[in-house]
């Protein structure tokens, strides 16, 4: 099992460009999450999907959209990238419909917006 | 909004010493408290967690304590080793909820 995989690993964008970060899990988990990690601020929840077919906003959703493509895949889209979106992005998944289950994280995508 | 405060932000110890990281949470309804370890260039990985029905939990050299009245919880690492060097995050969440709140992280250095 690969666990949680993310692509790409690194990305540089210019202000105003768009891109989609991809995430997939092979653990048959119901719930998936997108976080961003900034120095000194820990992990902040952008969006989550409690189960296939549902998505909800987290703490910092502005400037992002998500798609739960199927049970395995959860993508994060930046429609018009801004320098404030420079960050490391982590996808995670958990087994049941409760967030209190262990979250398994992917290796991250390091995004720089110039 | 809800938050989790974590201290210290940086901790340096000698190999073999103990390390303690402390967190305080604001949401009194929180009842699940995981701790994650993040090594350089990798995603966070759960190392131990505690639920509100217990005050302490141990797993080999790692222990967590929880004081629900004071809304404090702590991570204790004994007999530290160089491979314990990493960033550690505490977090707080609720049963049935999805919005786990993370602390800002503690960078632990273990000097050989």
Instruction: Encode pLDDT of A24-70 as tens digits.
Output: 999 888 899 999 999 888 899 999 999 899 999 999 999 999 999 89
Residues of B in contact with A48 (CB under 8 A): 98-99
Distance separating alpha carbons of residues A68 and A60, to the nearest angstrom: 18
Cα B60 from chain centroid (whole Å): 15
Backbone angles phi, psi at A105, to 5 degrees: -100, 150
Q: Specify the pLDDT at position A71.
A: 94
Both tokens of B67, joined, read: 């004081």
Q: Looking at chain B, which residue has its C-alpha nearest residue A6?
A: B43
**pLDDT band at residue A6 under the 50/70/90 scheme:** very high
Using the Cβ of A13 and the Cβ atoms of chain B, whether some distance falls under 8 Å is answered with: no
pLDDT tens-place string over residues B87-99? 999 999 987 678 8
Using the Cβ of A50 and the Cβ atoms of chain B, whether some distance falls under 8 Å is answered with: yes
Which residue among B1, B36, B98 sits closest to A31, beta carbon to beta carbon? B98
Both tokens of B95, joined, read: 């049963």
**pLDDT band at residue A96 under the 50/70/90 scheme:** low
Q: Is the pLDDT of residue A100 over 60?
A: no
Which residues fall within 8 angstroms of residue B53, CB to CB, at 6 or more apart?
A: B31
Q: Which of A63-72, A98-107, B12-21, B103-112 has the lowest mean pLDDT?
A: A98-107
Which residues fall within 8 angstroms of residue B35, CB to CB, at 6 or more apart?
A: B46, B47, B48, B49, B62, B64, B75, B88, B89, B90, B91
């Amino acid at each position: 099992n690969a666990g949680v995989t993310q692509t790409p690993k690194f990305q540089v964008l210019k202000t105003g460009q768009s891109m989609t970060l991809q995430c997939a899990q092979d653990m048959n988990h119901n719930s998936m999450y997108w976080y961003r990690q900034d120095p000194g601020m820990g992990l902040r929840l952008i969006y989550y999907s409690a189960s296939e077919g549902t998505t909800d906003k987290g703490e910092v959703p502005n400037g992002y959209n998500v798609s739960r493509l199927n049970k395995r895949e959860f993508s994060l889209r930046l429609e018009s990238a801004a320098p404030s979106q420079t960050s490391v992005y982590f996808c995670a998944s958990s087994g049941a419909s409760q967030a209190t289950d262990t979250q398994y994280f992917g290796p991250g995508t390091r995004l720089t917006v110039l | 909004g809800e938050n989790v405060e974590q201290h210290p932000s940086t901790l340096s110890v000698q190999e073999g010493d103990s390390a303690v990281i402390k967190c305080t949470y604001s949401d009194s309804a929180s009842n699940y408290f995981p701790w994650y370890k993040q090594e350089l260039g990798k995603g966070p990985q759960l190392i131990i967690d505690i639920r509100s029905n217990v005050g302490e939990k141990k797993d080999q050299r790692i222990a967590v304590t929880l004081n629900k009245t004071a809304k404090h919880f702590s991570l204790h690492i004994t007999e530290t080793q160089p491979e314990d060097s990493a960033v550690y995050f505490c977090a707080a969440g609720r049963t049935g909820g999805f919005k786990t709140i993370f602390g800002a992280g503690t960078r632990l250095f273990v000097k050989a």
